[in-house]
Amino acid sequence: MRAASKVPIPVALVLVSFLCPTEFSLYMAGLRLPPHRLALLLLLPVALFKIVTSRDQRLRAFDVLLILYGIWTLGVYAQHAGKDGFVYGGSLALEALGGYFIARAFVRTTEQLRATMRAFMASVAVAALIALPETLLGQTFTHDILHRLTGYYHPTGVETRLGLTRAYGTFDHPIHYGTFCAALFALFWFTELRQVKRRINGALMAFATFLGLSSAPMLCLGLQGGMLVWDRFTRPIKGRMTLTLAGLVGVYIAMSVLSSRSPIAFIATGMTLDPWTGFYRLQIWENGMLNVWANPWTGIGLGDWERPWWMISDTVDAYWLVTAMRQGIPSFLLLALAIVVLGRDVIKRRMRHADAQTRVIAMGWMMSLIALSLVGCTVHYWNVLHTFFFFFIGLGAWIADPTRAALTSPAGQTVQPSPSAVRSNNRRPRVEPRYGRPYGHPALARSVAMHARPLGATH
């Protein structure tokens, strides 16, 4: 097997660290380092060095925005809580920047992405194998056994739904386990070339997700499945994006007019396995936003948030809300803008790659990104899942920052752009330059080559 088709070692180490339970944490100088943070601490400097010294990579706008987000995160918590805030903010910044830049630095080609996805599918299979006995037998075996061996207690609880037990596996919460298994469904679907393996592994991801018995991961899986169906049946339709957006707006307006509940309230309370959970999440959003507007610049830090007396738990099950509420609106805007700019560049630069499969993979990455971003409205990404979210974002950066080798085919031939690359909205089609040559038109290329010869050369 060629080196290019093997999963990069740093990426493999990070994937393994995702499966390591929090009971395996290392304690140094009063700090607790879970396995994934320890891996990031060791590998982040290597990743940054590779990016800075590589001729095929350069910092782009989305990289800078994410770095600013990390700096803001560290500064906000330090400003609120001093040393303790510096440690907490530093941990969040390490998870965000470490997960992102390790994937950014070491996954640079379609072959490396496919190898990474194969390793990811293996990790999903292992996670499901550990979770299955918990779902069937009603006990959190992993955390219970490790508590006896290590003495570290991770709070868990046996909760049943549909007559089955919600599995933790090696993760901190059933929602985290389920989201990990469901998150990359669309990206995997477009990355895998063999149809039989695609269906088998797709079924494995769905089964593994179900073992967590959590509404949000199932919704994440369903959203990606819906987008795959939409892509399959609307390919022949011109302007399908405009029609789709118009249809979504129409559905939203119809639900607002015909239903007694708002569309957001309907989704929160109706598309869950437990309606009370959906109602409570809706209350979290309503009261959480009051905290955001009351502390717009630097948030509330590690302080408790204002809420009605009957909302006893201080848990906020919404990643985007937590980010704005604890770190301020600028932090949310930096992160959101970084993701939007990266997504724009992925769509824009996917046509520059010689491998036509890259253009399809970009669609899969965008679908998974949309699903994870929407699920972040009802799930808080923390610890392993926080790192995993940024790791996934980094998996798409190579499409937005192509290597020089990606601009020409392996045989050195020029690349013929697809019809969509030469079509612009409401304008006459124009001829795009052929990637791999400095000039598109053969006659112009010959003319430039003649005049570019050294002085004194024979014509």
86-119 pLDDT per residue, tens: 999 999 999 999 999 999 999 999 999 999 999 9
Residue 454 has pLDDT above 80, yes or no: no
Residue 410 has pLDDT above 60, yes or no: no
Tokens of 117: 């996805």
| CB-based burial, 440-458: b 16+ in 10 Å, e otherwise | eeeeeeeeeeeeeeeeeee
Handedness of CA 363, 365, 368, 371 (dihedral sign): negative
Query: If pLDDT is split at 50, 70 and 90, which confidence band does 266 have?
Result: low
More confident residue, 78 or 241: 78
Instruction: Give pLDDT, residue 269.
Output: 55
SS3 assignment, position 351: helix
**Strand 160-161 to strand 164-165: parallel, antiparallel, or no bridges (unpaired)?**
antiparallel
Dihedral Cα 169, 170, 171, 176, nearest 10 deg:
-40
- Output the CA–CA distances (angstroms, integers) from residue 327 to 277, 300, 383, in the order listed: 25, 7, 17
Q: Over range 43-51, report the average pLDDT.
A: 95
Instruction: Give pLDDT, residue 80.
Output: 94
The rounded distance, in Å, linking the Cα atoms of 12 and 117 is 10
- Residue-wise pLDDT for 364-398, tens only, equals 999 999 999 988 988 899 999 999 999 999 999 99
Instruction: Give pLDDT, residue 153.
Output: 87
Query: If pLDDT is split at 50, 70 and 90, which confidence band does 19 have?
Result: very high
Q: What is the DSSP letter of 387?
A: H
- Residue-wise pLDDT for 310-360, tens only, equals 998 888 988 999 999 999 999 999 999 999 999 999 988 888 887 888 989
The rounded distance, in Å, linking the Cα atoms of 310 and 79 is 31
Query: If pLDDT is split at 50, 70 and 90, which confidence band does 297 have?
Result: very high
Q: Tell me the pTM.
A: 0.84
Tokens of 143: 């955390």
The overall longest dimension of the chain from CA atoms, in Å, is 89
The rounded distance, in Å, linking the Cα atoms of 6 and 167 is 31
The rounded distance, in Å, linking the Cα atoms of 458 and 445 is 18
Residue 452 has pLDDT above 60, yes or no: no
Q: What is the DSSP letter of 415?
A: B
Helix (H) or strand (E) holding 339: helix 329-349
Residue 415 has pLDDT above 60, yes or no: no
* Type of residue at 225: G
The chain-wide mean pLDDT, for the chain, equals 84
Q: Over range 415-431, report the average pLDDT.
A: 41
Best CA proximity match to 99, nearest among 40, 52, 179, 47: 40
Instruction: Give pLDDT, residue 263.
Output: 62
Best CA proximity match to 19, nearest among 33, 6, 35, 7: 35
